[in-house]
Structures are given as structure tokens and as C-alpha cells.
A and B are shown apart, each in its own frame.
Chain A
Amino acid sequence: MSHEDERQARTRGPAFTAKSQLMSADDVRRALTRMAHEIVERNHDVNSISIVGLQTGGKDIASMLASLLSDVTAHVVTAGMLDVSFYRDDLSRNPIPTSSATHIDHDLTDRTVVLVDDVLYTGRTIRAALNALSDWGRPRAVQLAVLIDRGHRELPIRPDYVGKNLPTSLDEAIVATTEGVWIGTREPS
């Protein structure tokens, strides 16, 4: 296990117990391919798109989406990574998250930023991300791509590209990666 993996393992919190698998790795790839096409359909100027994954769940998904966009458009699209730990509004309420790296190598002013995350839930991570993004310039537009939208929003935030809509109950937990999507529960450790 690399050092970075260990860091991430520590952030994952209570152990996840899978109940059933909802999407296979192939399903995820097909969903992301469709989303890549939707992104191109909506934004004709591919050169102005910046893909930004949210640490840590959106990291691999953003990388895969960027590589699929490269295939679709024949342009090289790379994914930046954003860690929003320091922008969260629940720092005093929850155990503070372990921070990880932010890599955004260009000014986002006048770019169309597509934020990418694994699961859209309360919307608070996205709010933090919107705050954080403003420190990298003033994007022309910000769009949101998520692999799973599980509902239960607490803020007026809506995704632009969705892999799968998945109505859930509050006591269920979702794990969504490029390897597949599972529903289950988390036991407090």
C-alpha cells in the first residue's frame, strides 16, 4: 500500500459492508463514455474545458472521464484535482477530514470547469468546491458531473451530467469507483 493509499484509507472512516453491486466496471465505463459525449455536445469548444476531480472520491473518475474525453474529441484533456477539506462548513461538527493534494496547473479564468465527483449527496462538498474554485480565477461556467446522484440535497445544487440516479435512504451508504458501484451500510467503528 503506497503512502497516498494509506492516507486515503484513514479518511474513509467507518468500514463499509456491501449489500449488492449496482454497476460493474463496464457499466461505469459506459456511463462515463455517455457523459463524455454529453459534455462535448453541450460545450462545443473542447479546448476551453477544464476537468477538475474532487479529492479523494472523484479522483479516479475524473481521470477516466478526461481520458474518455480525449478519445471522443482527439484533444488531450487532463484532469486537475481539488481538495476541499479546508473549505468545508462542517469542520467543527465532524472529525476533520485528512487533506490530500490539490493540483490545478492553470488559471481557470474564462474556462468551462467540469467538477467531477463520485457521489452527489447533500451538496456540501460541491458548495465547498465552488468556494475553493474562486481562488483559481473566475471560470466562465462551472458544470457538475457525478457518477451517482443519491438525492437528499441540503443545498440548491443540481448535477449537469449523471452516471446513474439512485434513490437511497439515509442509512444506506454508496461506494462508487471506476471499478463499480455498491450499496451497503457503514458501521460506526
Chain B
Amino acid sequence: MIDTIRGRSLLSLDDLSKEAIVEVLDTAESFVEVNRRSIKKVPALKGRVVASLFFEESTRTRLSFETAAKRLSADVLSLAVASSSVKKGESLRDTIATIDALGIDAVVLRHRSSGAALQVSRYVPHVRVINGGDGQHQHPTQGLLDAFTIRQVLSERHATTGLESGAELFAGLKVLIVGDIRHSRVARSDVAAYAALGAVVRLCAPGTLLPEDVATWPVTVVRDFDEALGWADVIGLLRLQSERGSGAFVASLDEFTFTHGLTVERARLLKPKALIMHPGPMNRGVEIDSRVVDSSQAIVERQVTNGVPIRMAALYLSVAGSGEGTSL
């Protein structure tokens, strides 16, 4: 177990302790305040170089990582993979070596292969690697921002500030995760974060979309979706990942919607105060009905907004505390 990400790469939430996770959430709280200022920039990573390498397409994660790095005053090297030498067949190892030769302090990496971030951290041990999603394995900053968003909403309900209310808000919190869990790195990171913070997690999915090793996860698998809806304080929906072949695991999209989609009728089974989350991008009308997305219980936009402070916290803790930076 790792007790802090200070000066370390952030590859997975599986090996982070509760303390390490709470530290990121607390630090993000300070950055929420920075993001409310008229000048949304602090010099914490001045002179540091953060490379953003997205081998898989992304809107939210890439934009919020690059925004985060810029608000910390880091220089951002952004590789457009589609127009780079990767297209000529340059390997991951050579691409990393090239970027490293330019002098970088951190890499934000997204890759279609599970374990790519770990691999890169071994190629360049002096560079901090922040995993921006690797295959079906992990998406740590998404797990952190989901936990942060839940904490924020619950602490507002307790009429206190986020700072004065800690992880105790998660004790016994009932979280239901539904959908394509087999292919979801978000589900793996969310489960790790929620379980570490003390929440009770249940999964619900068609049998074909459950991971084979689910018995080793700190969760309970439930069959009856409608009953689970009435149980949950928080429901996290996942996208059906057609690019990872989810289509072959369900008979049809309509059937998936019929058995596991959050329709307007099903949303009525939720507790009035239950929160509805989705990491995006959403397939409206498949795993979630468009009208449910736009309901007051859905906190999808807040998840996106919190992406920046969480990624500022991850970069700050990981990069600021390491190596020789410039000193004024």
C-alpha cells in the first residue's frame, strides 16, 4: 500500500491507501478555490514540463489534464498521435524516449493497452507518469474525481465546507455501479477508490459484461437491477464500449437498455436524494435516458468540472515534490 503519491507516479488506485486518496481529495479542495479566482493560475510547477500523450481519443481527460498543467504554470508538450511518427510505426518505447530526450518531468498517458502506464514508468523511471487511462485496467484520476464529486455533494448537504468533512461521509455509503463493467477501467478505479474510503459497492450487469475475476473485487454482484436501484445512495453508469467489442457481449443495444438501462421509469425507483453519475462519453438512450441525464439528481457536469482540480492535485503532488526543479 502506498500512503502518498507525493513524488511518485500515479498508475493505479488499487495500491493507494485511504490516506493517499484523502490527501489528493483535500489538495483538490484547495485547487477548487484557485479555479474560482479571476486569475486561475499558481506558479507551483513553473519551469516543469508535462507531456500529454493520448494514444486513444479523449475529450474530457485530455482537456482537463492540459488545463490543469497550465493552471499550475507547467509547460505542456502535447503530442497529437494521429499526426505523429506513431503513424509510421514508431513504437511506444521509442516515442517515449524521443519525448524524454526533450526534457520532461511528467507524462500523462492514455493508451489502449492495459499496463501501458506501468510500462512507460519503467522505461523512464526519472519521469512521473500519470495514468490517463490504460486499456481496461485503470483510470485513476476518474476514480478520484468521482469520489471527490460525491464528497463535495454530500458535504454540501451537511451544510459544511468540503474541507471540514472528510472521508467519514463515505462510511457505509451505498454505491451501485451498472453496465459494461468488464471493459471499464473507470469501474476498476471507482471500485478501488470507493472501497478504500469505506463505501459499500454493488455491481449490476448482464453476466457477459461482468469481469471474470469479479470474485476478487471488494464488491457484491447483484442480479435484480430494480431492487438495487432502491438500495443505492449513488448510482454510477458506464458506457457500453463498442470499440472494445461490447457489442458481441449483449444480444442487442435495445435489449441492454431494456435490462440495464436507466430509463425514466427506472429512475423513479431511486431514492429521491440518490445521485446519478456517468464518466462520459454517454450513449444517450442506451445506458441512460436523455431525460435522466438532465434531471436534478444527475451530477455528470460536476464530474467534468471537478476534473481540473483533481488533475491539478495529482500533478502537483506527483511532480512538485520530486527531482530538481527551478528555484527562484
Contact = CB atoms under 8 A, between A and B. Distances in A.
B321 A86 contact: no
A101 B166 CA distance: 14
Contacts of B39: 135
A83 B327 contact: no
A125 to B, nearest CB: 13
Interface stretch (A37-45, A88-96, A112-120, A181-189): A88-96
A100 B29 CA distance: 8
Contacts of A127: 328
A159 B39 CA distance: 28
A135 to B, nearest CB: 4
Nearest to B41: A135
Given A96-B6, A99-B27, A100-B30, A89 B163 contact: no
Interface in A125-158: 127, 131-132, 135-136
A92 B161 CA distance: 30
Q: Which of B39, B42, B317 has the most CB of A within 10 A?
A: B42
B71 to A, nearest CB: 10
B327 A92 contact: yes
A86 B33 contact: no
A173 to B, nearest CB: 23
A88 B194 CA distance: 33
Contact of B321 (A87, A91, A101, A131): A91
A31 B165 CA distance: 35
Contacts of B161: 101
Given A91-B44, A101-B161, 8 more contacts: A4-B163, A87-B43, A96-B6, A96-B320, A99-B26, A100-B30, A100-B163, A135-B42
B164 A85 contact: no
Contacts of A99: 26-27, 30
Q: Which 3 A-B pairs have the closest CB atoms?
A: A92-B325, A86-B42, A99-B30
Q: Is the interface of B mostly helix, strand, loop or mixed?
A: loop
B209 interface: no
Given A92-B327, A96-B6, A87 B33 contact: no
A73 interface: no
Contacts of B43: 86-87, 131
B316 interface: yes
B303 to A, nearest CB: 22
Interface string B294-328: 00000000000000000000001100111111111
Interface in A1-25: 2-4, 6-7
A132 B37 CA distance: 12
Contacts, number: 71
A93 B327 contact: yes
A101 B33 contact: yes
Interface of A: 2-4, 6-7, 83, 85-87, 89-93, 95-96, 98-102, 127, 131-132, 135-136
Given A99-B27, A102-B30, A92 B44 contact: no
Contact of A4 (B164, B324, B328): B164
B321 A95 contact: yes
22 contacts: A3-B164, A4-B164, A7-B163, A83-B30, A85-B44, A86-B30, A86-B34, A87-B44, A91-B44, A91-B325, A92-B321, A96-B316, A96-B317, A96-B320, A98-B23, A98-B27, A101-B29, A101-B163, A102-B30, A102-B34, A127-B328, A135-B41
A143 to B, nearest CB: 23
A135 B73 CA distance: 14
Nearest to A84: B42
B44 A86 contact: yes
A56 to B, nearest CB: 12
B72 to A, nearest CB: 8
A85 B29 CA distance: 13
A4 B39 CA distance: 26
Contacts of B29: 101
B251 to A, nearest CB: 49
Nearest to B29: A101
Contacts of B325: 91-92
Contacts of A2: 164
Contacts of B30: 83, 85-86, 99-102
A91 B164 contact: no
A90 B46 CA distance: 12
A185 B324 CA distance: 29
A91 B316 CA distance: 10
A118 to B, nearest CB: 20
Q: Which of A7, A91, A135 has the most CB of B within 10 A?
A: A91
